[in-house]
């Protein structure tokens, strides 16, 4: 187990975690919302382990964290105007957007839907890790499917902690799951309420439209 401060202030530790992820290891780690369980998004063997650990149906897509817009371009097929507005306002932040996936993106990430869910996290841990790790990072909640997400390492069941390779501990997270919206058709569809309110998003879009 790694204390998050050690990762943030020790480049050697950060590099070790990045190397482990490249080899296919699975990690529990903090985000701004809840603890996540993740791996290298481009490693299908590691993706399969996450579905097994979480007892998650294969047709349920996974959320990914990215470092920046360049990394987003590796995953999505086009960037609708409404998505650009939301990125400018809310990223890094707890807003997950669903895009059309680029051809070749693993069906384990999309759940066979042809779409991909992505956000840019403001939490210092993933931001630090991305200095050493150059692939998108899976960020599904660290729980057994249908159970409550964990806000501390101590809240994780043994069925999770006994099966992962790395744990990064940041204490108790006072977070709320991310808001999820679908922008695949260039319009906004709300999928899940979360940390960013529907009212906030609509006020932002309305005020901007009004000035055009």
198: CATH: 3.90.870.10
pLDDT of 211 reads: 43
pTM of the model: 0.93
Stretches in the chain below the pLDDT threshold 70: 208-212
Domain that holds residue 55: 2-211
Place of tokens 């987003």: 72
Q: Judge whether 137 and 41 are in contact, CB under 8 Å.
A: yes
Q: For residue range 139-171, list pLDDT tens digits in order.
A: 999 999 999 999 999 999 999 999 999 999 999
pLDDT value at position 176?
Answer: 86
Compute CA distances 40 → 12, 30, 84, 135, 206, whole Å: 19, 16, 25, 6, 37
- What pLDDT is attached to residue 208? 54
Q: How many separate domains does the chain show?
A: 1
Predicted pLDDT at 143: 95
Question: What pLDDT score was predicted for residue 181?
Answer: 97
């Amino acid at each position: 187990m790694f204390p998050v401060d050690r990762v943030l202030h020790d480049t050697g530790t950060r590099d070790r975690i990045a190397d482990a992820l490249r080899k296919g290891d699975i990690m529990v780690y903090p985000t701004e919302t809840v603890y996540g369980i993740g791996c290298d998004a481009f490693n299908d063997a590691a993706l399969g382990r996450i579905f097994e650990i979480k007892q998650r149906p294969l047709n349920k897509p996974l959320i990914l964290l990215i470092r920046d817009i360049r990394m987003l371009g590796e995953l999505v097929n086009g960037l609708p105007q409404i998505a650009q507005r939301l990125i400018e306002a809310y990223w890094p932040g707890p807003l997950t957007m669903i895009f059309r996936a680029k051809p070749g993106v693993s069906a384990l990430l999309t759940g066979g839907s042809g779409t991909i869910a992505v956000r840019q996290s403001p939490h210092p841990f993933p931001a630090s890790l991305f200095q050493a790790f150059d692939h998108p990072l899976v960020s599904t909640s660290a729980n057994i499917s249908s159970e409550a997400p964990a806000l501390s390492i101590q809240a994780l069941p043994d069925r999770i902690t006994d099966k992962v390779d790395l744990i990064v501990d940041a204490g108790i997270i006072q977070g709320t799951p991310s808001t999820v919206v679908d922008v695949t058709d260039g319009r906004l569809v709300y999928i899940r309420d979360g940390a960013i309110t529907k009212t906030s998003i609509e006020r932002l879009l309305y005020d901007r439209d009004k000035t055009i």
